[in-house]
Amino acid sequence: MDNYLALTKLKIKHQDILDIILEQNESDWTSDEQYHELRLDNWLDYDCIKEVVNQLPHNLEINNNRIVAEKLDSNFCLPAHKDGTRKASIYIPLTALDRAVELYSNDKEWVRPYYHNTATLINAQSWHGTTTKEQQKIGLQFSLYEDYNILQGRLKHLS
Ligand SMILES: [Fe+2]
């Protein structure tokens, strides 16, 4: 079973979304070492974000609480991990598109890189990690709490 599904049919204004993220105050970000998160209570007031959510099935129930921007510092290794309570996510990469997500097997053996230069549904309960180089890696993520297999079926028409 694949642990990811590229959502190539989603129409996304990447630069507009990146601009919104970059214009927020530095103090709105929370940080865990070189990993940073930005949560806003008004993400869906921005047209370019609302437009993406409107293309997704309504039963995914994306609301402001489920949207988070992530930023990884340059020259940082995020080791293989599973996300906490999140079962899956839709990740929209915005910078450092040449930096792969590293995919691992159930017993944490490295399998292969996945270059997501497009929005992707990811099984957050599979082992994954990434390493940045000179550019920081910024992306927008929608957190999902249903089983990956179910979500894969619901999103297949966008792949
Ligand atoms: Fe993760």
pLDDT tens-digit series, residues 79-109: 999 999 999 999 999 999 999 999 999 999 9
Phi (first) and psi of residue 123, to 5 degrees = -75, 105
pLDDT at residue 116 in the model: 87
pLDDT at residue 1 in the model: 66
Return the bridge partners of 70, or none: 37, 139
Q: What domain count does the chain have? A: 1
Domain that holds residue 131: 4-158
Distance (angstroms) between ligand 1 centre and the Cα of 66 equals 15
Distance (angstroms) between ligand 1 centre and the Cα of 97 equals 16
Res. 33 pLDDT band, cuts 50 70 90: confident
Which CATH number fits the domain that encloses residue 140?
2.60.120.330
Instruction: Say which amino acid occupies 151.
Output: L
Phi (first) and psi of residue 46, to 5 degrees = -90, 125
Distance (angstroms) between ligand 1 centre and the Cα of 128 equals 6
Distance (angstroms) between ligand 1 centre and the Cα of 34 equals 14
For tokens 């297949």, the residue is 156
Q: Cα 38–53–81 angle (5° rounding)?
A: 50
Which of 67, 16, 62 is closest to 38 using CA atoms?
67
Distance of alpha carbon 155 from alpha carbon 140, whole angstroms = 18
Residue 66 DSSP label: G
Q: Is the pTM of this model over 0.85?
A: yes
Distance (angstroms) between ligand 1 centre and the Cα of 91 equals 10
Res. 67 pLDDT band, cuts 50 70 90: very high
- pLDDT of 72 higher than 90: yes
pLDDT at residue 134 in the model: 96
Distance of alpha carbon 113 from alpha carbon 118, whole angstroms = 14
